[in-house]
A and B are shown apart, each in its own frame.
Chain A
Amino acid sequence: MEIISLADLYSISPLLFLTLGAFGILIVDVFSKESWLRASYTSIFILAALSFAFQLADVAAPGKTAFWDAIYVDSFSIYFQVLILVGALLTVMLSHGRIAQEGVRSLGEFYALFLMSTIGAIIFVSAAEMVTLFLGLEIMSMALYCMCGSAVHSKDSAESALKYFFLGSFSSAFMLFGIALMYGVSGTLSLAESAAVLSSSNSGLVPIAVGFVLIGFVFKIGAVPLHFWAPDVYQGAPTTVTAYMACVVKAAAVGAALRVLWTSFGSDTLFGIWASAVWIIAALTMVVGNLVALRQRSLKRMLAYSSIAHAGYIMVAFLAPHQGGGSAVLFYIAVYTAMTLGAFGVVLAVASPHSSEPDADDIHRFQRLGYRNPVLAGCMTLFLLSLAGLPPGLAGLLGKFYVFNAAVQANYVGLAIIGVLCSAVSCYYYLRVIVAMYFIPKEESDSDSLAPLAPVSLPFAGVIGICAVAVVTLGLFPSILHDGAQFVIENF
């Protein structure tokens, strides 16, 4: 066997930078206790990884692999790498200064885990082979379990880590069993090679394998019926970790699920097996996510259910592989990342830094925000309208349009109707926050009793600004991203 070639190493250069950063920061941590130093150190390595991810676009080719068919180097994996890295960068900027207030004592370890989780996410989306995929999933999750519990003296944080850890390892055990069955039927672990064998096999193990692998993905995406961990974990974990889970981890899971479902299980016979399951899961996810979100008072929980509902919309497009579903997913997940990260950023700015208070992120803290801090409230309004899919939040609206359009063209009209009805329901809980921010009369509100908002730091304002600009730009000029997404899918 030949020695690892330079081309192979180059194709994982973003991962190498992140690994260097993850180990380096543990050393930096010994010598300096400055919070900004560790955050900026982490950002620099993510930026380096990001620039190399962009460079990789030149060598990418459809179906190209590195490391003996273990990692894909195609535009699909690079699209998701860039998305993950941008999401991670914005999360680091959000975390600066806030993460210590939320009870995380050892920042060096936190950022090291953060980078490792990002490494796992990238391996997860670019894996070309089942064991690599599983390892990526586990690297990402294992670091996340620790990050959830990183506020060591908080009851909620420990509890969320416990729940996430048990349910996460349970569902990945199912996924692993599915992988073993796939290997048993096809005799290979490669995603592309197994496709042909799996589709021609009439073994009874194939549907079980497909189902078990699907369980693992459904859990990580946070879709019904495996969504129940999400609200608890999102609420208990430090808010920056929540933002990271809702955006980056979900994006990685969607990317990997799309790859496996369309590559290994992409043939017509296998599509028939999982399409009906995904149909039911998507419909349930949209309905349950939106209905339960209606009665949430905690903004973090509301956004958790909203992210469950959006997972449902995304899964609708899984069913339209040849009708523009792929580019719809890629567009939607990018817009979703921008608006959700922005919304979590505002929640972080408005919520009480003492997350142990029972009403730390309660909706009443947003009362009259439009008069207390008009800029923050304006950005929040934009994000919420975009999440609801109402103008002027055009980006969210277009995302939904692409998804439902693909579903209709693939003859899933019923599912598209359920989706449109559900997003109409979702307007209620998004608008409720906007009403609280602007339309509560002064005498009825208790905003005077709330502590004044802490001043917003520069990186923090940067994140909210970048997200707002991204949402506006993608709403006005969707073709910037959508054309790219179509190119990625054509080279899938």
Chain B
Amino acid sequence: MSTSSYLTISIILFSIGTIGFVVRRNAIVVFMCVELMLNAVNLAFVAFARHHGSLEGEAAVFFVMVVAAAEAAVGLAIIIAVFRNHRSIETSDADHLRL
């Protein structure tokens, strides 16, 4: 497969993540969408690394994975804190702070 096919898949995954982030209201699902976006970027990095024949892009993927893991830890902790205070993880219920 050529680089452009990998890139197309990556863009499709990224778009699904973006749309899901905007449309969905459940905090866990929204969080999964962000993870999907990060993994779409990983795919792009690996595809480009193969295209250029350089290792830099593949090394970047490891760092992105670490960031995604840290994000999971922090994000789930925050979601639990919100659940304790609001008794809900719907993002539309977290509307105490208003304009």
Residues of A within 8 A of B (CB): 130-131, 134-135, 138, 142, 145-146, 149, 152-156, 158-163, 165-166, 169-170, 173-174, 176-177, 179-181, 183-184, 187-189, 231-232, 235-236, 292
Q: Is the CB of B34 within 8 A of A155?
A: no
B12 at the interface (CB under 8 A from A): no
B19-57 contacts to A, CB under 8 A, are: 21, 27, 30-31, 34, 37-38, 40-41, 44-45, 47-48, 51-52, 54, 56-57
Q: A165 — which chain B residues lie within 8 A by C-beta? A: 74-75, 78
- Closest CB in chain B relative to A155 CB, distance in Å: 5
| Contact among B34, B74, B77 for A173, CB-based, below 8 A | B34
Please indicate the chain A residues that have their CB under 8 angstroms from the CB of B16 in the complex. Answer: none
Q: Cβ of B34: which chain A residues have Cβ within 8 Å of it? A: 166, 169-170, 173
User: Are B45 and A180 in touch, CB under 8 angstroms?
Assistant: yes
Q: In chain B, what residue has the closest Cβ to A130?
A: B60
Q: How far is the CA of A160 from the CA of B17 in the complex (A)?
A: 22
What is the CA–CA distance of A166 and B27 in the complex, to the nearest angstrom?
9
* Residue among B51, B71, B94 making CB contact with A142, cutoff 8 Å: B71
Q: A138–B67 contact, CB under 8 A?
A: yes
B91 in contact (CB, < 8 A) = yes
The residue among A131, A170, A173 with the most chain B CB atoms within 10 A of its own CB is A173
B99 at the interface (CB under 8 A from A): yes
Tell whether A188 pairs with B96 under 8 Å between CB atoms, given A135-B63, A161-B81, A177-B14. no
Q: Which A residues lie within 8 Å of B37 (CB)?
A: 170, 173-174, 177
Q: Considering residues B17, B40, B74, B81, which has the most beta carbons from chain A within 10 angstroms of its beta carbon? A: B81
Instruction: Tell me the residues in window 55-81 of chain B with beta carbons closer than 8 Å to chain A beta carbons.
Output: 56-57, 59-60, 63-64, 67, 70-71, 74-75, 77-79, 81
> What is the chain B residue whose CB lies nearest that of A159?
B94
Q: Which of B17, B79, B85, B97 contacts A232 (CB 8 A)?
A: B97
Select which of A159, A184, A187, A189 is within 8 A of B82 by beta carbon: A159
The majority secondary structure among interface residues of chain A is helix
Known pairs A138-B71, A177-B44, A183-B48 / 17 extra A-B pairs, C-beta < 8 Å: A135-B67, A159-B85, A159-B86, A159-B94, A159-B96, A162-B79, A165-B75, A169-B75, A173-B14, A173-B17, A173-B41, A181-B44, A184-B3, A184-B7, A188-B54, A236-B96, A236-B97
- Compute how far the CA of A155 lies from the CA of B40 in the bound complex, rounded to whole angstroms: 34
The answer on a CB contact under 8 Å between B86 and A155 is yes
- The answer for the CA separation of A401 and B59 in the assembled complex, in Å, is 45
Report the separation of the CA atoms of residues A231 and B54 in the bound assembly, to the nearest whole angstrom: 43
On whether the beta carbons of A158 and B86 are closer than 8 Å, the reply is yes
Rounded to whole Å, the gap between the CB of A124 and the closest CB of chain B is 13
Please, which residues of chain A bring their CB within 8 A of the CB of B71? 138, 142, 169
Q: Known contacts being A156-B96, A183-B48, A183-B56, is A170 close to B86, with CB within 8 Å? A: no
Size class of the B contact interface (CB-based, 8 Å) = 35 or more
Minimal beta-carbon separation of B90 from chain A (angstroms):
11
Q: Which residue of B lies closest to A232 (CB)?
A: B97
A177 to B15, CA, bound (A): 11
Q: Which of B14, B21, B41, B70 has the most CB of A within 10 A?
A: B41
A176 touches B41 (CB 8 A): yes
Query: Is there an interface contact between B78 and A134, defined as CB atoms closer than 8 Å?
Result: no
Interchain nearest-CB distance for B8 vs A (Å)? 13
Bound form: Cα–Cα A173–B45 in Å: 13
Cα-based distance from A162 to B85 in the complex (angstroms): 12
Tell me if B84 and A158 are in contact (CB < 8 A): yes
Known: A158-B81, A184-B51. A166 touches B31 (CB 8 A): yes
20 A-B residue contacts at CB 8 Å? Answer: A135-B63, A138-B71, A146-B74, A155-B85, A155-B86, A159-B96, A161-B78, A162-B79, A173-B17, A176-B38, A177-B14, A180-B45, A180-B60, A181-B44, A184-B47, A187-B52, A188-B54, A188-B56, A231-B97, A231-B99
Tell me whether A177 and B60 are in contact (CB under 8 A): no
List 5 tightest A-B contacts by C-beta distance, closest first: A184-B48, A173-B37, A187-B52, A232-B97, A180-B44
Chain A residues in 8 Å Cβ range of B60:
130-131, 179-180, 183, 189
Chain B residues contacting A158 (CB-CB under 8 Å) are 78, 81-82, 84-86, 94
Please determine whether A162 and B96 come into contact, CB atoms closer than 8 angstroms: no
Specify which of B40, B41, B75, B94 is in contact with A163 (CB 8 Å cutoff): B94
- Chain A nearest CB from B49 CB (Å) reads 8
Q: A165-B75, A177-B37 are in contact. Are A153 and B30 (CB under 8 A)?
A: no
Distance of A192 from chain B, by nearest CB (Å): 14
A220 shortest CB reach to chain B, Å: 15
Q: Point out the residues of chain A lying under 8 angstroms from B38, CB to CB.
A: 173, 176
* Contact status A176-B64, CB under 8 Å: yes
A156 contact set on B, CB distance < 8 A: 96-97
Q: Which residues of A contact B48 (CB under 8 A)?
A: 180, 183-184, 187
Question: Is the Cβ of B78 less than 8 Å from the Cβ of A149?
Answer: yes
Residues of the A chain whose Cβ atoms lie less than 8 Å from the Cβ of B14: 173, 177
Are A131 and B78 closer than 8 Å at their CB atoms?
no
